[in-house]
Structure 1
């Protein structure tokens, strides 16, 4: 019999509990949801668990927080363990439904501190969320952090909208860029390593 791995585990870092200790169960304002995302993203890279990325899933109308996620690629050793994937998976676990837009569920939205990378683009589209809220879009993320976000097309938001997923952009954009710039300073000082696969190969 071939000896192969049969499962892998992706979990939130323990420090997330401390960050959520003073957060109410519901954050009705999207700006408040994004502020929490920025706070988690900044703490995450400083803790060494992964890149400066965080996300949360909330009920769109009430603002009830269903899950949060941070990038745990370094902590888990799993390249797909991005913040969006973690938040969506935990939300689906919490609701007991792979379709977060399914019958009997409140409409959910994903809140994330930049436009999703090519992997998380697909994960978001297939998750059943009815809304995507991002701090920003554009080349700044890759320029500042040097991450390769993959070939996401110019019509990325339109593709979501055509599938019934509302897209809201530019929610606390400057705050997102501030987190990325702090991360870049740490890169330049040799304090963190960017974990792009292929070692920068073309």
Structure 2
């Protein structure tokens, strides 16, 4: 058999159907960063209960107007694709909507809002996405301690590296609420045996 007949030629990272239902009462404009992060927490809290992946969500927003460009949730478990993190999903859908790999093209000022500092994979995805601002709920070790996730080898000067590339970093937006979602996730894992997916160590 020829190799071309055996290869996969595409894969899809898409929002799960329940997201539309969850967004039914959400306006298209979220004026404050607290409003934006509250939506991220709401999506993250539902995502793991729906079995899509971890307790992670992200949105891309126009920094000046508050217009929501895209939303994303972690879909690793539902797709079987390890790169299906919330940030990658939100950034990719924003790029598909705008028709550009550069979310800062034409002077656009867009920001990625996510419920913790990006993992090693999403760190790079954010750096190269064209967003002008990264807004996170927190950045300490609590995420890994509470959930058991391995976020990978992220540099200690991660925020400075973003700033050096023209990406402003805003931290500690609704931080306590993020930790509440992670605690709920940990309780869910303990009760259901849900998969906490990490890189293989053997």
Normalising by structure 2, we get a TM-score of: 0.96
Q: How does 1:108-147 map to 2 (within 5 A)?
A: 108-147=110-149
Aligned-partner Cα distance in 1 for 2:188–2:64: 38
Aligned-partner Cα distance in 1 for 2:76–2:134: 22
Aligned-partner Cα distance in 1 for 2:184–2:46: 11
Instruction: List structure 1 runs of 4+ shifted beyond 4 angstroms.
Output: none
Give the deviation of 1:166 after TM superposition. 0.5
1:89 corresponds to which residue? 92
The 10-residue stretch of structure 1 (181-190 or 13-22) with the greater mean CA deviation from structure 2: 181-190
Q: Unpaired segments of 5 or more residues in structure 1?
A: none
Aligned-partner Cα distance in 1 for 2:173–2:197: 27
1:149 corresponds to which residue? 151
| Residue-pair matches, total | 199
Return the match for 1:33 from 10, 33, 36. Answer: 36
Q: Unpaired segments of 5 or more residues in structure 2?
A: none
Aligned-partner Cα distance in 2 for 1:7–1:190: 32
Give the deviation of 1:190 after TM superposition. 3.3
Aligned-partner Cα distance in 2 for 1:197–1:116: 16
